[in-house]
Structure 1
Amino acid sequence: MKKALKILGLLIAMVAAAWLVIFMWPVKARPERAFYRADDPEVLVIAHRGGRGLAPEGTLTAFDHAVSLGADVLEFDTHLTKDGHLVVIHDNTVDRTTNGTGKINEMTLEEVQDLDAGYQFTNEKDEYVFRDQGIYIPTVEEVFQKYPNMRFLIELKDTNAPEMYEEMIQELWHLIQNYQMEDNVMVGSFAHEINERFEEVSKGNIPIGAGEEEVRDFATKHVARLNGLAASNVDSLQLPTEGDGFDLTSKNIIQSAKARNISVYYWTINDKETMNELIDKKVNGIMTDYPDLLIEVLEERNE
């Protein structure tokens, strides 16, 4: 009996020691990135699709409004047209946001931009206030031309046709270099293969936002308190507040990410209570459809 207890005690001590080593193992920090500014506010106001609750998503109208409000970062998604132009749109079809139908990958830029991108938007009174205003789906090039000093979170959508991934990646990198936006963009995708390939093409010069695989790995290991086993191969975690039944806003996740020089942004937050909770937890940024609401929260906290 004494021998059995001794063996059990030894096993417990070994497990505890292994856990301690894993938990306390020194983490490798990501390099400093020019995307982050020394004078950044307490939390970055990130206009999700340009602030899709206030104006037609992913349009210059939405971006103009977000910039005028004082948003720090514009977030948008990209798809590639049949003739090789990167356009700003979340879906892989034009059906939900315009007066047309069809897949972006199967349409020319002219066909895409002939559509009314303000057609489906309704305000709080369910009024179609942006129809027939000349609003269209812009190219990424137009966005870079119009807002050379803004920062952007850009998602390379994995809903593009897989055979177009390489062209999409190469085109974005070309535009970033051509418009000297290297310090102003963070690029990511839900697909690990797209993230990995873009980082390879850009030679690691652009900060990378975590994809689904990276987020799951980081969050799962932190929920299990295996912090030291979590990878540090991205520059930003862009998270929902919960996933698979777990709280993804825990201090363990946020503080561990920051120790690795990984910024933590949460999406899509549209209520004051959650905004305040996240600010209290020292997150780096909040993505919202209502940048005016987040700015109001920040102003109230500074009164």
Structure 2
Amino acid sequence: MRVFAHRGYSGLYPENTMLAFDKAREAGCKAMELDVHLSKDGELVIIHDEMLDRTTNAKGLVCSHTLAELQAFNAGTEEQFQAIPSLDTYCRWAKQHGIFTNVEIKTNLIYYPGIEEKVLALLEKYNLIEQTLISSFNHGSVIRMRQLCESMQCAFLVGGRGLANVGSYAKNFKVEYYHPDGAFLTKAAVDECKDQGVGVNVWTIDDLGLLHKMITWNVDGVFTNHCAPVLALLGEKHA
């Protein structure tokens, strides 16, 4: 089972910062999940929300600021400054350390024209296509990425109770993975995906009891804010 550090080791460190990614790597996690928006000047930046307010010391829309302006804001703590990373900076780091990455394209509330092409160009620049999985709640972005690159691994992100016959739905669009909310996932949905040859990566699994259920259901991967205890439990199970 693949363990994705959700926004890095976000349970202990500021989410979607290079510190959080590196701490997850140090904890033994070899896969990261991150969120990508476009800056005012068209640069790919790693931050979850469309607004700066929750995770930085600034306010307003991410897309209202240039990359230089965004990187002057603090996404860390009062004690330790952390810049909002560019996806370029992250890709250099991921290439260096052999990290697998789920890039979530955040176009479900604000659509950034051309963001899929920009993500693909950057992944090609660092030769990271095989080490990347693209997901989005905006399935149009996923389908666009599939059109742009047939070899890119892709996933449909779905919230709440998910979709009926989602395995067939994903297979129809040649999308390899389904990413459901673990709080609502059923074994029947997992089994239907498996029957269609579609993998299942589940978010966000911090409860070890729920992790036990995911292991029993034989899902392909989990996203977690607390990668160390999840990795430890999986290590015991595999042992």
CA offsets, 1:167-205, max 9 Å, x none? x11110110111100100010111122112122122x12
Query: After superposition, where does 1:24-63 map in structure 2 within 5 Å?
Result: 43-63=1-21
1:119-268 equivalences under 5 Å are: 119=77, 131-148=78-95, 149-159=98-108, 161-162=110-111, 164-166=112-114, 168-202=115-149, 204-212=150-158, 216=162, 219-221=163-165, 230-232=169-171, 233=173, 234-243=175-184, 248-250=185-187, 252-268=188-204
Letter in 2 for 1:236: Y
Give CA deviations for 1:140-189 in whole Å, capped at 9, x if unaligned.
11011012111001111025632x232x1111011011110010001011
The one-letter amino acid paired with 2:155 is: G
- Between the two proteins, the alignment pairs up a number of residues equal to 234
CA shift, 1:51, in A, is 2.1
- Paired residue for 1:281, among 217, 220, 225? 217
Give yes or no for contact 2:158–2:181 (8 Å, CA) kept in 1.
Answer: no
State the Cα deviation string for residues 38-60 of structure 1 (Å, max 9, x = none).
xxxxx111100112111110010
Distance 1:258 1:51 in 2: 29
Structure 2 residue 215 is matched with structure 1 residue 297: no
- Aligned-residue identity in percent: 28
Counterpart residue number, 1:117: 75
For 2:23 and 2:222, locate their aligned partners in 1 and report how far apart those are by CA, in whole Å: 18
1:132/1:84 Cα in 2 relative to 1: closer, same or farther (>3 Å)? farther
1-structure distance, mates of 2:108, 2:193: 28
Aligned: 1:94 with 2:52: yes
Q: Compute the displacement of 1:260 (Å).
A: 3.0
C-alpha distance in 1 between matches for 2:82 and 2:26: 18
Where 1:210 maps in the other structure, the secondary structure is strand
CA drift of 1:93 comes to: 1.4
Structure 1 counterpart of 2:179, one-letter code = Q
Contact between 1:192 and 1:212, CA under 8 Å: does it hold in 2?
Answer: no
Q: CA deviation at 1:300?
A: 3.0
- The CA deviation at 1:231 is 4.7
Gaps of 5+ in 1: 1-42, 120-130
Aligned partners of 1:253, 1:276: CA distance in 2, in Å? Answer: 17
Contact 2:146/2:154 (CA < 8 Å) preserved in 1? yes
Native 8 Å contact 2:37 2:45 kept in 1 = yes
Q: Name the CA distance, whole Å, in 2 between partners of 1:192 and 1:221.
A: 16
Say which one has the larger Rg: 1
Deviations 1:89-122, CA, capped at 9 Å, x for gaps: 0001111111111211110111111011113xxx
8 Å contact kept, 2:44–2:86: yes
Q: Measure how far apart 1:296 and its partner are.
A: 1.9
Structure 1: which amino acid aligns with 2:32?
L
CA contact (8 A) 2:165 2:189 kept: no
RMSD: 2.0
**Alpha-carbon offset, residue 135 of structure 1:** 1.1
Amino acid of the residue matched to residue 290 of structure 1?
H
What SS does the aligned partner of 1:154 have? strand
The one-letter code of the counterpart of 2:195 is: A
- Deviation by residue 1:63-104 (Cα, 9 ceiling, x = unmatched): 001011111310000110001110110001111111111211
SS in 2 for 1:292: helix
Label 1:172 to 1:64 Cα distance change in 2 as closer, same or farther (>3 A).
same
Instruction: Render the CA deviation track for 1:6-28: whole Å, top value 9, x for unaligned.
Output: xxxxxxxxxxxxxxxxxxxxxxx
TM-score by length of 2: 0.91
Letter of the 2:139 partner, please give it.
H
